[in-house]
């Protein structure tokens, strides 16, 4: 989790857990939709999403460990699903026939005229049997040649010959993955439900880092095996994870620095108390003027302009220390939002050096450390900030946030309380205190704290919205909707925060599966704030629920566009790829689509 796990993420977490909470409901809902089956989407996605609840990840790691162990048992054999296991028909014929007289040239010349069909079948069978023996003896090169002879002498194309030869290529040192793919292509062309060939091709594609193809084949294998084999769903998870992480990194690299959605930026700025603007010196320089203009643009939520102006201001130089410290703080904040963590730390560090009592810069350095997953360093920053100015309520609020993220709700509550003692005018401290109490199990205290907060801040929508979330969590749907409606009314005066709308949609959905009403709420939210990530994520899940997979994919793509961090982006891509793989399955195996639904129902 990142430092923004301020109140703003409570909801996003909620959307993410929607899938796992309603896994069964979603699968059943999907099964009811006849057109295209997406049975396993929610199942896969919820166990592999990096944004999930955490436990699936540990399952996954355990799975990988088990894989490694079983690999050891194979003693260097890459593909134990060799031909031996496939020998279901006759045992090796105890034939006197000397295969050596069938040289490649002779085999090539075996036509109907030279040799009748049943004779050629017999010869092919002999080659295969000998190939199996060579395979068993781990002489993979010899086995591959024998299967080639089987292929050439056989009057009909036999998928098993190709699949067996692929097993040889798989086990050669080094493995011949391209040849594995070629042979599996042949086998699958002849028998589209040939699980071993599909699985083998998936492994080869994975090794070749052709992840989309690997995912497609593992998905097909999983469904064809009716989810019975533990290894293939794990392979799906593994490939999804690798693919999403890799592509997320690539996308972020190519995307270049850009500011996150405006709602995110305003939520970040709103997490700090408003302060008076610095007072311009007598004869302000051009840089000084630019600084003030940048603050003005910030106030107007014109962040791109504000960023441009602050760069100009510092480039042209700000003439007095307090102003320069403010300017560095602001530029450092933008650098943080742009993902330039080192640059952010430098600016913020310079800022605090110029005006040591300007502890906000230190608190922001702490949030940079949290983004980098270094809570210890973040705590050091808070300590240092307290040394500089122990009366700064922001320090305790943000330390509370870090403790909250780390699930230390008791200490978090203490820090929120301390912050409120210093200044009780900041609505988020009150809300977070209530949520921390709730998470710590003090439900009655939390509800009372919320009621006090709603009374103290009647003009704010946030207490209503987050109180509504607790009610939703307790399945008090009507009460929740009433709070969300009030929050929506307040936001209508100055529409910024659309979370209450999305929450209302979620409630309508959970209350009586009213998908249409839930969707209308989300669309309304997006009309006001086209970059509302929570609305997009919810719409994606609601689409899946109805089996509208193409629509779901579009929303996942949009989620990916809006994602800020690599983790968020990888999460969105995971859903997108899992859905696509299953759309493809339904296309390739239309006859099995309904079967996939039936399986989904019993999961
Ligand atoms: C197959 O074996 C080779 C060498 O024995 C090894 O380098 C490779 O990683 C193995 N591949 C798989 C998919 O296990
Ligand atoms: C800021 O500029 C980027 C392109 O540089 C654009 O994509 C984005 O929409 C702009 N944001 C705002 C709030 O205008
Ligand atoms: C600062 O100004 C110089 C030259 O005037 C320019 O090359 C540079 O890009 C500017 N830097 C920023 C961050 O605007
Ligand atoms: C800030 O600068 C000082 C030296 O001036 C350095 O010791 C310290 O590590 C820096 N802090 C950060 C967070 O970069
Ligand atoms: C705040 O959290 C820290 C742990 O980081 C804890 O030691 C302290 O007691 C808490 N309370 C206050 C009032 O700071």
Tell me the per-residue pLDDT of 394-422, one tens digit each, with 9 for 90 and over.
999 999 989 988 889 999 999 999 999 99
Number of structural domains the chain divides into: 1
Residue to mutate, 314, 315, 340, ligand 3, most ligand atoms under 8 Å from C-beta: 315
How would residue 22 be classed by pLDDT, with cut points 50, 70 and 90?
very low
Residues 6+ apart with CB under 8 A from 277: 292, 295
492/486 Cα distance (integer angstroms): 10
Give the closest residue to 221 by CA, choosing from 547, 589, 600: 589
Q: Would you say residue 226 lies in a domain?
A: yes
Q: Which ligand is nearest to the CA of 314?
A: 3
Q: Which one of the ligands is nearest to 530 CA?
A: 2
Inter-residue contact 330 to 310 (CB < 8 Å): yes
pLDDT on residue 599: 57
Ligand number, closest to the Cα atom of 382: 5
Return the ligand 2 atom nearest residue 303 CA.
Answer: 13
Atom of ligand 3 nearest to the CA of 315: 1
Residues spanned by the domain of 188: 75-254
Other residues' Cβ atoms within 10 Å of the Cβ of residue 117:
11
Find the 414 Cα to ligand 5 centroid distance in Å. Answer: 6
- Hey, is 156 helix, strand or coil? coil
Residue 372 has pLDDT above 90, yes or no: no
Are 506 and 18 a contacting pair, CB within 8 Å? yes
Span 311-335, average pLDDT: 95
Tell whether 361 is covered by a domain. no
Q: Is residue 376 a part of any domain in this protein? A: no
Q: Residue 392: how many CB atoms within 10 A of its CB?
A: 22
CA distance 124 to 111: 13
pLDDT (0 to 100) of residue 83: 63
Instruction: Calculate ∠ Cα 388-391-392, nearest 5°.
Output: 80
Whether residue 580 has its Cβ less than 6 Å from ligand 1: no
Residue nearest to atom 4 of ligand 5 (CA): 411
| Per-residue model confidence (pLDDT) at position 59 | 26
pLDDT in tens, 552-563: 899 999 999 988
3, part of any domain: no
Instruction: Read off the pLDDT of residues 424-468 as tens digits, 9 standing for 90 and up.
Output: 999 999 999 999 999 999 999 999 999 999 999 999 999 999 999
- Look at residue 101 in the predicted model and tell me its pLDDT: 67
Q: Average of pLDDT values for 320-337?
A: 95
Q: From ligand 1's centre to the CA of 243, what distance in Å?
A: 20
Q: Whose CA is nearest to atom 3 of ligand 4?
A: 349
What pTM, to 2 d.p., does this model score?
0.74
Within 169-296, strands assigned E span none
- The larger pLDDT score, comparing residue 265 to residue 202, is at 202
Residue bearing the CA closest to ligand 1, atom 12? 78
d(CA 565, CA 244): 13
pLDDT at 72: 42
Query: What average pLDDT does the chain have?
Result: 82
Residue whose CA lies nearest to ligand 5 atom number 3: 411
| pLDDT for position 311 | 97
In short, whether 334's Cβ falls inside 6 Å of ligand 2 is no
pLDDT at 51: 29
Q: What angle do CA 252, 256, 257 make, to 5 degrees?
A: 105
The confidence band for 591, taking pLDDT boundaries of 50, 70 and 90, is confident
Nearest Cα to Cα of residue 2 among 573, 570, 568 = 568
Starting from the CA of residue 72, give the closest ligand: 1
- CA of 415 from ligand 5 middle (Å) equals 6
User: For the chain, what percent of residues have pLDDT higher than 70?
Assistant: 79
Lining ligand 5 with CB less than 6 A are 379, 396, 399, 403, 411, 414-415, 418
Residue 15: CB atoms within 10 Å: 20
The residue among 469, 482, 497, 431 whose CA lies nearest residue 17 is 469
Q: Which residue, judged by its Cα, is nearest atom 13 of ligand 5?
A: 415
Cα separation, 162 vs 187, whole angstroms? 6
Q: How far is the CA of 78 from the centre of ligand 1 (A)?
A: 6
- Take residue 546 and report the two structure tokens written for it: 């109805």
Whether residue 172 has its Cβ less than 6 Å from ligand 1: no
Task: Answer yes or no: is the C-beta of 345 below 6 A from any ligand 4 atom.
Answer: yes
Closest alpha carbon to 203 in 162, 231, 224, 223: 231
For residues 90 and 48, what is the distance between their CA atoms, to the nearest angstrom? Answer: 43
Q: Which ligand is nearest to the CA of 562?
A: 2
pLDDT digits (tens, 9 = 90+) for 42-93: 333 333 322 222 222 222 223 233 343 444 444 456 666 666 545 444 444 4
Joined together, the tokens standing for residue 450 give 């919320």
* Local confidence band at 3 (pLDDT 50, 70, 90 cut-offs): very low
The pLDDT tens digits for 233-265 are: 889 889 999 999 999 999 988 988 888 888 788
Ligand 3 site, residue 317, Cβ cutoff 6 A = no
Asked if omega into 174 is within 30° of 0 (cis), the reply is: yes
**pLDDT band at residue 385 using 50, 70 and 90 as cut-offs:** very high
Domain of 163, CATH number, reads 1.25.40.10
- Site to probe by mutation for ligand 5, drawn from 386, 414, 432 as the one with most ligand atoms within 8 Å of Cβ, is 414
Residue 69 lies in a domain: no
As given in the structure block, the two tokens for residue 148 are: 């080639």
Mean pLDDT of 261-290: 88
pLDDT band of 95, cuts 50, 70, 90? low
pLDDT at 265: 86
CB 198 within 8 A of CB 220: yes
User: Ligand 2, atom 2: nearest CA belongs to which residue?
Assistant: 304
CA dist 153 and 545 (Å) reads 52
Neighbouring residues of 384: CB distance < 8 A, sequence distance ≥ 6 = 362
Task: Quote the tokens at residue 560.
Answer: 């990916």
How would DSSP label each residue in 274-313? --PPPPPPSS--HHHHHHHHHHHHHHTT-HHHHHHHHHHH
The alpha carbons of the chain give a radius of gyration, in whole angstroms, of: 31
Residue 85: how many CB atoms within 10 A of its CB? 10
């Amino acid at each position: 989790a990142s430092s923004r796990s301020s109140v703003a993420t409570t909801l996003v977490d909620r959307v993410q857990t929607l899938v796992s909470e309603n896994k069964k409901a979603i699968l059943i809902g999907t099964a009811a939709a006849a057109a295209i089956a997406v049975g396993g989407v929610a199942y896969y996605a919820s166990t592999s999403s990096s944004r999930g609840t955490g436990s699936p990840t540990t399952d996954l790691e355990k799975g990988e460990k088990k894989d490694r162990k079983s690999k050891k048992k194979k003693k260097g054999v890459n593909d134990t699903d060799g031909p031996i296991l496939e020998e279901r028909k006759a045992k090796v014929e105890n034939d006197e026939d000397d295969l050596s007289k069938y040289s490649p040239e002779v085999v090539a010349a075996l036509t109907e005229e030279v040799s009748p069909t049943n004779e050629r079948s017999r010869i092919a069978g002999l080659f295969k049997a000998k190939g199996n023996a060579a395979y068993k003896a781990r002489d993979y090169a010899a086995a591959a040649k024998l299967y080639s002879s089987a292929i050439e002498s056989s009057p009909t194309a036999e998928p098993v010959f190709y699949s067996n030869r692929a097993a040889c290529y798989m086990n050669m040192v080094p493995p011949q993955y391209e040849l594995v793919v070629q042979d599996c292509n042949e086998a699958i062309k002849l028998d589209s439900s040939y699980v071993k060939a599909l699985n083998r091709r998936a492994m080869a594609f994975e090794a070749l880092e052709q992840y989309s193809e690997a995912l497609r084949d593992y998905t097909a294998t999983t469904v064809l095996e009716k989810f019975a084999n533990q290894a293939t769903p794990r392979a799906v998870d593994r490939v999804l994870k690798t693919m999403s992480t890799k592509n997320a990194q690539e996308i972020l690299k190519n995307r270049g620095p850009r500011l996150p959605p405006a709602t995110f930026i305003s939520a970040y700025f709103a997490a700090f108390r408003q302060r008076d603007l610095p007072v311009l010196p007598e004869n302000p320089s051009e840089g000084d003027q630019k600084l003030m203009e940048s603050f003005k643009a910030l106030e107007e939520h014109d962040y791109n302009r504000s960023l441009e102006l602050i760069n100009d201001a510092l480039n042209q130089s700000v003439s007095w220390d307090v102003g320069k410290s403010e300017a560095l703080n602001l530029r450092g904040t933008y650098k943080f939002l742009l993902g330039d963590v080192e640059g952010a730390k430098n600016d913020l560090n310079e800022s605090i050096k110029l005006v040591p009592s300007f502890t906000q810069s230190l608190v922001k350095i702490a949030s940079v450390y949290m983004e980098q997953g270094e809570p210890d360093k973040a705590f050091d920053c808070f300590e240092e900030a307290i040394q500089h100015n122990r009366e700064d309520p922001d320090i305790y609020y943000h330390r509370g946030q870090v403790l909250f993220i780390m699930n230390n709700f008791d200490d978090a509550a203490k820090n929120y309380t301390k912050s409120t003692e210093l200044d009780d005018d900041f609505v988020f401290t009150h809300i977070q205190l209530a949520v921390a109490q709730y998470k710590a199990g003090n439900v009655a205290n939390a509800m009372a704290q919320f009621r006090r907060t709603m009374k103290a801040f009647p003009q704010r929508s946030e207490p209503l919205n987050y109180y509504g979330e607790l009610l939703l969590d307790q399945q008090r749907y009507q009460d929740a909707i009433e709070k969300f409606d009030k929050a929506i009314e307040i936001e209508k005066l100055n529409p910024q925060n659309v979370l209450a709308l999305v929450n209302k949609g979620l409630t309508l959905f959970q209350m009586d599966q009213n998908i249409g009403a839930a969707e209308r709420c989300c669309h309304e939210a997006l009309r006001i704030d086209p970059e509302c990530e929570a609305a997009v994520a919810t719409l994606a899940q609601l689409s899946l629920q109805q089996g509208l997979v193409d629509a779901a994919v579009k929303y996942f793509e949009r989620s990916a566009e809006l994602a800020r961090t690599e983790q968020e982006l990888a999460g969105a891509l995971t859903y997108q790829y899992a859905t696509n793989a299953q759309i493809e399955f339904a296309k390739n195996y239309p006859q099995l689509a309904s079967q996939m639904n039936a399986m989904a129902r019993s999961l």
